[in-house]
Structure 1
Amino acid sequence: MHNPGRPEDLPPAEELWADAAALAVLSAGVRSDYLEGAEPDEHGLRSRDNQNGWWTLSRWPHGRMLLCGIDEDYSDTIMDPPIDLLAGAPDWLPADYLDSPFGGPEMYGLLYWWDGSWGRAPYPDDLTDDGLSSLAPGSHEHYRPALLACASDAEEAGAAYDGLLAAARARTVDEATLTRLFGALDAERLKAELRATADLAAALAIARSTGLTRA
């Protein structure tokens, strides 16, 4: 389903952060070249798909956040001429960061900023998609079926997966939350299907560093 991308399509910034950080937790806990994941960086979280694009979700002073990226298949904002994604942008946007989010120049397909609410540049009426629906950092659709397919108990794994996402939003992820999920996975299936192993310690470390734990 194509969507031009609207600020109201995004959850509040802290909810989006929790969902994206949960993806980073999963990425650290089940490392696999078959699953597009996320990881912390100097300013927040980031993800790069070698074929289809990238996104970053970064934190800035006074509770502000910045979501940017591109889906090379669906971001129609890169039309000729491209849309000015900085039109109407606030002056606090970090110019140096935007010049080099991955240590080099990048092409942008979307740029959303949070300062109490989400905003973005105006789009033309005929724009069909900016890539937001496919790039949204809180999207875990690819992880859930992949992990459940590797579970020794799919029902328990599904409940544990949902429990992790709920705990992430509540900032109550702990070792028990992750043990429940990883304990429901079958090591042999992980290795065969995803060429991966479960690493609870790595997942817990990311949960702590991204603020998903009580501490």
Structure 2
Amino acid sequence: MKTKLIITLSLTLLLLGCGGGGSSSSENQSATNTAPTLTLSGASEIQITVGDTFSDPGVSAYDTQDGNITASIQTNSTLDTSTIGNYIITYSVTDSNGNEVTLVRHISVVAQNQENYVVSWENNFTIPSQDANGWSILTPSADSHILYVANDGNDTTAIIYDANDSNLGSDVFHPTGTIYPYATIEAAEEQMRTGYPDYMLLKRGDSWEPTTSIWLTYG
């Protein structure tokens, strides 16, 4: 009789253990249910002259669970290019879990005058995409060099970093590892390459008084 009792108790404990694991998995899955993100192409505020044709730069949507859901974006616009005024274009998207996000682009239709005339080379220039707050979204290229400048840096021991350096983490603008910056803008400028997308990042809150003219290279 003792042997049968021990076997029964062991089996009961095993079943209880399996049941607990299933509940934890469901909770973890619920915790990953995040809202999608909308990203504008072009500026969040655009000015055109009355009578112009407006071409929407577009917007993209991505969801952690659903992937690329750009095709599901709904657009609502009040724009009237024939009438001077301020207008908005609202973009919205909903993921498969019912999470909805919206983003707005502001359009100003103004009268033609000497201050806002259009030149022939205007369309040759593009600006980076912007986030919901209007800040440019800058992403270094694989061949970018990242140079940091801070008042407590050292021009002799400073290091030039590749964009994928492990010390920088996933965001070069907020490095997670130990960084060895330059102390002066002039020293960092000398290391920037012509024709390459190099970045010189200055530490927020610090200040410099350059002793010579600073000429940044193109790239």
Query: Is the helix fraction higher in 1 or 2?
Result: 1
Q: Rg larger in 1 or in 2?
A: 2
How does the TM-score come out when normalised to structure 2? 0.27
Query: Is the strand fraction higher in 1 or 2?
Result: 2
